Amino acid sequence: MGKLRITLRLLVVLPLSILMSRCVSNEKSVPQAKKGKLDTPLLTLTSNEKQKLSDYGFFKGKLANLEPNDRVFPYTLNTPLFSNYALKKRFIYLPNGKTMTYKSEDVFSFDEGTVLIKNFYYPEDLREKTSSKNIIETRLLIKEPKGWKALNYVWDENQEDARINYIGKQTRVSWIHSDGFKKTAVYNVPNNNQCKNCHLNGKEITPIGPTAAQLNRKYVALSERLKQLEFFNESNLLKDFPEHGQLPKFAQWDLADSGNLEERAKAYLDINCAHCHQPQGSAKNSGLDLRFSQKDLRKRGVFKPPIAAGKGSGDLQYSIVPGQAEKSILLYRMSNNDPGVMMPEVGRSMVHQEGVDLIASYIENLKVESSSDIKNP
């Protein structure tokens, strides 16, 4: 009896100990480092950038209230990028006499001096948007003669002002989630080079959000009466606005009335993935093109084998298998948090469950008329 027990124990303990020793050896050991001090600074900072967000004068009154000054216009998008559930307040500053120019497909073009302002914040309680908020960072895209420049300002703990940040910052955030439970996350403020990860198109920095399809909606903070595009047009801030005809419009990913499942899913994939997954983006080598305008299903991932996914493929064959979400690499990577697997690569440290659910039901309901045509183009 005793012998049997020992054998049994061995049977349990041995594989366990092998497993444990493997886990330990796989873990990265981070050595200790004591804080050093420089005798002379490595570079003399001769920055002519504004050091504080308040220096720009975008907002009046208490800065954290984000009450826009003249020529600073709030705007919103139909379907935004997921950033660890942070909410965003967006503004556009157009200097006197400067305008933006309508484009039907691409991002609008903007006159020199334009600043796109994006504030990332968490309300105390996601269910009450008016509850007191904690602003983490304010990102600026500034249109200079040579092109766009990206700058980032990180807010002080006391929420009085935000200071310029080049090197990024890791911070912890928490809020009451829509389900009533408290959520916490590691929030990575990007460093200046990381901004380019998403905003580089070819070799140029470009904005991502302000397209006709994204702006085509009403936003009470801008106008009680008019849709955003009409407001900008009537205020003479938008050139080349087509007075007649159908304007492109993205569905709101989380609003069932705004579009059918496919429209909402494609809008979600466009804003969350297509800045890299398009022919000019940094993930062009993947061959995946998730722009809303892409109609070729194979380029959209249907029965498309991975090119350079490595362990990111999770041993699955195709980006999207219609009707089989669990066999689709795209969903696998959206549902993952491992830095070597997760998509998008930057901008989130947690899974966007609601987004995953949307894309899962899109794939489950996706019907392909002749799969063999797609498999063998």
Partner 1 sequence: MKKFLWLLLFALIVLVIVYIPASMPEYNPPRDYIDLEEEILEAFILAKDSSTIQLPEGHFLFSQSLSLDGKKHLTIKGMGMDKTILSFKGQQQGAEGIKITNSENIILEDFAIEDAAGDNLKISDTDTLTIRRIRSAWTGKVSTENGAYGIYPVLSTQVLIENCEAIGSSDAGIYVGQSQHVIIRNNKAFYNVAGIESENSSHVEIYNNQAYENTSGLLIFNLPGLTVFGNDVKAYNNKVYNNNLKNFGVKGSIVSAVPKGTGVIIMATQNVDFYQNTIKNHKTSNLSVVSYVLFAADQDPEASSLSAAAEAQGIRGINSNFEQDKAYNAYPGNIYIHDNTFYNNRALPTLSNDFGKLWFFKNGASIPDIAYDGILPKGTKLQDPELKICIQNNGDASFAYLDAEHDFEAFSNDLKPFDCSIK
In the complex, the smallest distance separating the C-beta of residue 249 from partner 1, rounded to whole angstroms, is 36
What SS3 state is found at 10?
helix
* 335 in Cβ contact with 353 (< 8 Å): no
Pick the stretch among 7-15, 38-46, 121-129, 249-257 that binds partner 1 (CB under 8 A): 38-46
Write out the DSSP string of 156-170: -TTSS-EEE-SS-EE
In the complex, the smallest distance separating the C-beta of residue 26 from partner 1, rounded to whole angstroms, is 9
In the complex, the smallest distance separating the C-beta of residue 76 from partner 1, rounded to whole angstroms, is 31
Residue 163 touching partner 1 (CB under 8 A): no
Nearer to partner 1, 2 or 36 (CB): 36
Question: Which residues, numbered 260-299, are part of the site for partner 1 (CB under 8 A)?
Answer: none
Residue 23 touching partner 1 (CB under 8 A): no
C-alpha–C-alpha distance, residues 174 and 186, integer Å: 9
Nearer to partner 1, 106 or 204 (CB): 204
Residues 6+ apart with CB under 8 A from 119: 66, 88, 89, 90, 91, 135, 137, 138
Nearer to partner 1, 251 or 288 (CB): 288
* 111 in Cβ contact with 152 (< 8 Å): no
Residue 144 touching partner 1 (CB under 8 A): no
Pick the stretch among 29-37, 147-155, 323-331, 361-369 that binds partner 1 (CB under 8 A): 29-37
C-alpha–C-alpha distance, residues 129 and 134, integer Å: 12
Q: Count the site residues for partner 1 by CB under 8 A.
A: 35
C-alpha–C-alpha distance, residues 323 and 20, integer Å: 38
Residue 337 touching partner 1 (CB under 8 A): no
Residue 191 touching partner 1 (CB under 8 A): yes
User: Which tokens go with 238?
Assistant: 């938008």
Residue 306 touching partner 1 (CB under 8 A): yes
Nearer to partner 1, 23 or 43 (CB): 43
Of the residues 2, 41, 180, 377, which one makes contact with partner 1 according to CB under 8 A? 41
Residue 35 touching partner 1 (CB under 8 A): yes
Nearer to partner 1, 24 or 45 (CB): 45
C-alpha–C-alpha distance, residues 140 and 117, integer Å: 5
In the complex, the smallest distance separating the C-beta of residue 99 from partner 1, rounded to whole angstroms, is 29
C-alpha–C-alpha distance, residues 154 and 53, integer Å: 9
Of the residues 3, 34, 146, 172, which one makes contact with partner 1 according to CB under 8 A? 34
Of the residues 61, 245, 310, 377, which one makes contact with partner 1 according to CB under 8 A? 310
How do strand 109-110 and strand 115-123 relate by DSSP bridges? unpaired
Q: One-letter amino acid identity for 234? A: E
C-alpha–C-alpha distance, residues 45 and 51, integer Å: 12
User: Which tokens go with 18?
Assistant: 């092998």
* 66 in Cβ contact with 59 (< 8 Å): yes
Nearer to partner 1, 21 or 260 (CB): 21
Pick the stretch among 113-121, 143-151, 186-194, 256-264 that binds partner 1 (CB under 8 A): 186-194
Residue 79: C-alpha distances to residues 215, 249, 252, 259, 267 (Å) = 9, 10, 5, 12, 7
Contacts to partner 1 by CB under 8 A: 28-36, 38-39, 41-43, 45-47, 166-168, 188, 191-193, 196, 203, 306-313, 339
